[in-house]
C-alpha cells in the first residue's frame, strides 16, 4: 500500500511540475494527469481516503513517516508549506477533472492562499479533496516570510548539490526536482524579488562551491527575467548557469583553494575546466538540452574573445553565456574565499566596469547594474549623518542612491528613498560578515 501511496503523490508532483512548465493544454501535462489520476484511482479503490500530512519537513501517511519520499520531494514540501498547506486529503469519488482543477489551484501564486481555502476549492468544483487547517506561524510579517524563503534557498542548494554530484558521478539527474526548485525561485521573483536577492546577497558568504553555483543561477534567472525572456528560456538559462563551473569541480581543490599565485601548470589545468565542463554536459544533452554545454564552453571566452578557450576564428557568444559570465564574476568577486577577501559592492562595480567592452558586453553590464544596483539589496551601509541602514530597493535612474531602511539609532528608524531625500548620502559599506553583522538583526 505504501508503494501505491508514494506513487500517487509522486504523480501529483509530476503533474504540478508539468502544469507549471507547459500549461494545462500541453500534451505533457495531459499525459502526467492521466498517470496521476490512475495512481490515485488505484489507491482509492482500496480505501475511502488518502491523507498526506507535512510534519516538519517530512511527509507522513497515517503513522508512517515517508522519509525516502520526503527526500525526493523536498522542494514540493517547501512549496506547499509556503502556501500554508500541511494536510491534503483525497477521497474516493475523485474524478480527473477535479484533480486537474486542484493541480491548477495549487500551481497558483502563493498570494491566492489566504482566507478559506476549502471554500475556494468548492467554488471551482473540487469536492473530493480537502486541504487541512492553515498552519499558524508564531512569527509574522517579514520574519516569517524570510524564514520560508531561507528554507527554499537552502532546499534549492541541496538540490543543486545533489544534481552536481550526480553529474560528477555520471549518474542520472533528477531533472524534475531540479526544475521544480528553480521554478519556485522564479515564482518568488514576481512578488518578493527583493527578499530573494537579499538572501542571495547574504548567503554568498557561505564558501561552499554549491552556493556559488546556486547564486549564479539565481542572478542569471533574475537578470534574464528583467531582460524580458520568457519563463521557459529563463529556466533554461538558470540550469545552464547552475552547471557553468561543473568542470572546475573535477579539478583538485588543492589548486582551487591554494593561497598565493598558481604555477603555469596549475593555471593551465584550471583553464581547462571550460572544455572539461562542456564535455561532461554533452552526456546530458538529452535531459538538459545543449545550452549547458554552450555556457560551460563560453563563459570565460570574454566579450572580445580574448579569454579562454582560445579559438582561431572569432565567435559570437550565446546571450546566455554573456549573462552567466557577468553573474559569475559578480558573485565570485563578492564571495569570501581562501585566496582572497570579499570586495565591497563599490569595488566590485569598479572592477567589472574596468572590463566593460573587453570581458563583458557593455550594454548588458550597464543593464545588469541598473537592475542590481550599485549597493545590492541587503547591503549594510553607513550614512553621512552617522546612522546605519539596510538597502531595501533600487532606483534604476540613479543606482548609487537606493531605497533604504535606517535601522540605527532607534530614534531615527524610518524608510528613505535617497533619490527623493538629498540630505543623506551613503558613506561606506559595512561587511555583513564583520562590522555589519549586528545591524542585520535590526531590519
Average the pLDDT over 37-58 and give the result: 83
Q: Domain ranges in the chain?
A: 2-131, 141-372, 380-440
Q: Where are the alpha helices (DSSP H) in 52-116?
A: 67-72, 74-82, 96-106
- Confidence (pLDDT) at 147: 46
Query: How many Cα atoms are found within 13 Å in the side-chain-facing hemisphere of 340?
Result: 9
Q: Is the pLDDT of residue 258 over 50?
A: yes
- pLDDT confidence bin for 201, thresholds 50/70/90: low
- Confidence (pLDDT) at 60: 75
The cell for 191 is 512578488
DSSP H/E element including 22: helix 2-22
**DSSP summary character for residue 87:** E
Pairwise CA distance, residues 443 & 437, whole Å: 11
Q: Choose the weakest-confidence range: 17-21, 93-97, 320-324, 420-424.
A: 17-21
- Confidence (pLDDT) at 362: 97
Q: Which of 420, 386, 423, 422 is nearest to 406 (CA)?
A: 386
Q: E strands, 243-373, where?
A: none
Write down the residue that cell numbers 561543473 correspond to: 246
Could you give the strand order of the β-sheet that contains 426-430, starting from the edge strand earlier in sequence?
Answer: 414-417, 403-408, 388-393, 380-383, 426-430
Q: Is the pLDDT of residue 47 over 60?
A: yes
Average the pLDDT over 267-280 and give the result: 81
- Confidence (pLDDT) at 143: 40
- Confidence (pLDDT) at 321: 97
Q: Using one digit for the tens of pLDDT, what is the confidence trace for 86-127?
A: 888 888 899 999 999 999 998 888 777 777 777 788 889 888
The CATH-assigned architecture of domain 141-372 is Orthogonal Bundle (1.10)
- pLDDT confidence bin for 1, thresholds 50/70/90: low
Are 413 and 406 a contacting pair, CB within 8 Å? yes
Model-wide pTM > 0.75: no
Q: Choose the weakest-confidence range: 197-206, 217-226, 285-294, 431-440.
A: 197-206
Backbone torsions φ then ψ of 287, nearest 5 degrees: -100, -45
Q: Is the pLDDT of residue 229 over 90?
A: yes
Q: Write down the mean pLDDT value for the chain.
A: 81
Q: What is the DSSP string of 129-145?
A: EEE-PPPPPSS-HHHHH
Q: Is the pLDDT of residue 429 over 70?
A: yes
Q: Using one digit for the tens of pLDDT, what is the confidence trace for 278-312?
A: 999 999 999 899 999 999 999 999 999 888 888 76
Amino acid at each position: 500500500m505504501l508503494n501505491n501511496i508514494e506513487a500517487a503523490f509522486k504523480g501529483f508532483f509530476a503533474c504540478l511540475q508539468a502544469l507549471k512548465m507547459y500549461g494545462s493544454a500541453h500534451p505533457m501535462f495531459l499525459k502526467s494527469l492521466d498517470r496521476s489520476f490512475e495512481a490515485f484511482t488505484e489507491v482509492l479503490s482500496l480505501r475511502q481516503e488518502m491523507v498526506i500530512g507535512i510534519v516538519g519537513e517530512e511527509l507522513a501517511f497515517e503513522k508512517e513517516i515517508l522519509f525516502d519520499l520526503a527526500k525526493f520531494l523536498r522542494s514540493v514540501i517547501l512549496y506547499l508549506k509556503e502556501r500554508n498547506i500541511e494536510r491534503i486529503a483525497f477521497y474516493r469519488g475523485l474524478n480527473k477533472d477535479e484533480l486537474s482543477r486542484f493541480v491548477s489551484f495549487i500551481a497558483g501564486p502563493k498570494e491566492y492562499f489566504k482566507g478559506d481555502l476549502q471554500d475556494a476549492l468548492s467554488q471551482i468544483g473540487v469536492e473530493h479533496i480537502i486541504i487541512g487547517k492553515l498552519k499558524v506561524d508564531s512569527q509574522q510579517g517579514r520574519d516569517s516570510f524570510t524564514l520560508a524563503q531561507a528554507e527554499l534557498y537552502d532546499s534549492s542548494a541541496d538540490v543543486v548539490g545533489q544534481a552536481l554530484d550526480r553529474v560528477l558521478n555520471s549518474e542520472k539527474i533528477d531533472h524534475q526536482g531540479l526544475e521544480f526548485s528553480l521554478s519556485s525561485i522564479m515564482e518568488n521573483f514576481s512578488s518578493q524579488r527583493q527578499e530573494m536577492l537579499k538572501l542571495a546577497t547574504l548567503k554568498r558568504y557561505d564558501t561552499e562551491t554549491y552556493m556559488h553555483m546556486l547564486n549564479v543561477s539565481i542572478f542569471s534567472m533574475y537578470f534574464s527575467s528583467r531582460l524580458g525572456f520568457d519563463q521557459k528560456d529563463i529556466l533554461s538559462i538558470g540550469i545552464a548557469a547552475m552547471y557553468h563551473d561543473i568542470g572546475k569541480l573535477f579539478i583538485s581543490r588543492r589548486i582551487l583553494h591554494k593561497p598565493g599565485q598558481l604555477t603555469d601548470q596549475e593555471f593551465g589545468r584550471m583553464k581547462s575546466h571550460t572544455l572539461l565542463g562542456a564535455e561532461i554536459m554533452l552526456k546530458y544533452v538529452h535531459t538538459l538540452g545543449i545550452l549547458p554545454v554552450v555556457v560551460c564552453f563560453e563563459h570565460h571566452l570574454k566579450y572580445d574573445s580574448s579569454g579562454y578557450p582560445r579559438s582561431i576564428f572569432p565567435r559570437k557568444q550565446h546571450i546566455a553565456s554573456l549573462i552567466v559570465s557577468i553573474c559569475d564574476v559578480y558573485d565570485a568577486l563578492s564571495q569570501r574565499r581562501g585566496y582572497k577577501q570579499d570586495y565591497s559592492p563599490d569595488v566590485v562595480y569598479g572592477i567589472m566596469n574596468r572590463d566593460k567592452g573587453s570581458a563583458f558586453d557593455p550594454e548588458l553590464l550597464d543593464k545588469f547594474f541598473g537592475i542590481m544596483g550599485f549597493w545590492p539589496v541587503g547591503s549594510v551601509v553607513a550614512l553621512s549623518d552617522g546612522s546605519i541602514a539596510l538597502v531595501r530597493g533600487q532606483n534604476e535612474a540613479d543606482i548609487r542612491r537606493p531605497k533604504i531602511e535606517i535601522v540605527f539609532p532607534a530614534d531615527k528608524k524610518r524608510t528613505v528613498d535617497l533619490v527623493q531625500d538629498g540630505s543623506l548620502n551613503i558613506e561606506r559599506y559595512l561587511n555583513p560578515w564583520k562590522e555589519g553583522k549586528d545591524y542585520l538583526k535590526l531590519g
